[in-house]
Amino acid sequence: MHDAAIHQVDYRNDLQGVNVRIFVFEYVTGGGMLDETVPASLTYEGDMMLRALINDLAEIPNLHLTTLRDARLDEPDWGADVHYVYNEDDFRRGWQELLGEADAVWPVAPETGERLERASRQVVNAGKLLLSSRPDAVRVAASKLRTAVRLTQHGLPMVPTYALQDCPRDIASCWVVKPDDGVGCLGAHICRDEQELACMAAKESSGEVYVAQPFIEGVSGSLCLLCRDGEARLLSCNRQRVVVSNDEFHLLGCIVGGLADGHAGYARLARGVAAAMPGLWGLVGVDFIASAQGPLVLEINPRLTTSYLGLRDSLGENPAALVLNLIDGGDLAPARTHASAAIDVSLEADRVA
């Protein structure tokens, strides 16, 4: 379905009245990984994001919240009706049931393996209000190669990104190789010579598609945007706490609002990203390197990200309410110029990240 058709579905005035039903779906804790052992780090992060989002939505009048829950996990104590799922068939039935009952759906899922795109398309095809980025925008953002092409076409600063087999070996002595549709630090590996690049290239024979980006010195950062129809409000500029161990990257957390300098430049970048990808909607993350040449985009996350955990305290506003305000044509203009406080978000529970 193209963006024009999606637009007609998404901007109906649906959220007026009593007991509007919103299905909040977090992939990891909501049964998306029932057929495998879920890493404790992913469960911890997913649970924290889901809890924060549901708590924010629960403060808004006239909303009835539902969610799916992997039955292997602890019983939550937040304000939503929980549908437990025990196996894959149960998950599919639960998804269809809550989707059918909902007026709107807020999916939080990885782009990997087209998971977020498929979920978003199902929401749109069911005629429900999608409270996140449009499927076509998710498809572009899910691929680092497609993202690089789109942003470069619009003159935006992007870390040079190549298909692994095509990377020009002579422009860098050190490369970061990662899955094209990977999320964050997962699967990213530093390659320091031809032999290491060849080893990563051999993994592509298993069907995984990798990209190579030159290793660039700088501060790891992210932007949190509020987007609609090619426009963006910059909500926060965040410093990411990333460490390298055995040539692999690990995200230990972030400081929401931790990058106060250069805000005007980050705001221009936010507007440029939204204009280049007008299907971005609601909360969007942009990962970048603050290099000596300025910010260079690494990837776009067309969904709620970890920074949400500190966003409310940093902004002094309810981020979920800002998103719902977009539906009826609410103003994107900021109440203040940038996040007012630096909030530390840790993902180091039990030393997992």
Could you read off the pLDDT of 60-78 as tens digits, one per residue?
999 999 999 999 999 888 8
pTM of the model: 0.91
Q: pLDDT higher for 290 or 245?
A: 290
CATH architecture of 217-351: 2-Layer Sandwich (3.30)
Model pLDDT for residues 313-345, shown as the tens digit of each residue? 999 999 999 999 999 888 887 656 555 799 999
Here the tokens at position 325 are 């305000």
DSSP single-letter state for residue 69: E
pLDDT value of residue 66: 98
Longest pairwise C-alpha distance within the chain: 62
C-alpha–C-alpha distance, residues 182 and 199, integer Å:
18
| 298 Rama sector, left if φ>0, alpha if ψ -120 to 50, beta otherwise | alpha
Listed in sequence order, the residues at least 6 apart from 10 whose beta carbon sits closer than 8 Å to its beta carbon are 124, 129, 130, 134, 281, 327
CA distances from 160 to 21, 133, 157 (A): 43, 25, 9
Range with lowest mean pLDDT among 15-29, 69-83, 180-194, 323-337: 323-337
CATH architecture of 3-134: 3-Layer(aba) Sandwich (3.40)
> Phi, psi (5° rounding) for residue 98?
-70, -35
DSSP single-letter state for residue 111: S
Stretch(es) of the chain classified as CATH 3.30.470.20: 217-351
> Phi, psi (5° rounding) for residue 234?
-80, 115
Stretch(es) of the chain classified as CATH 3.40.50.11770: 3-134
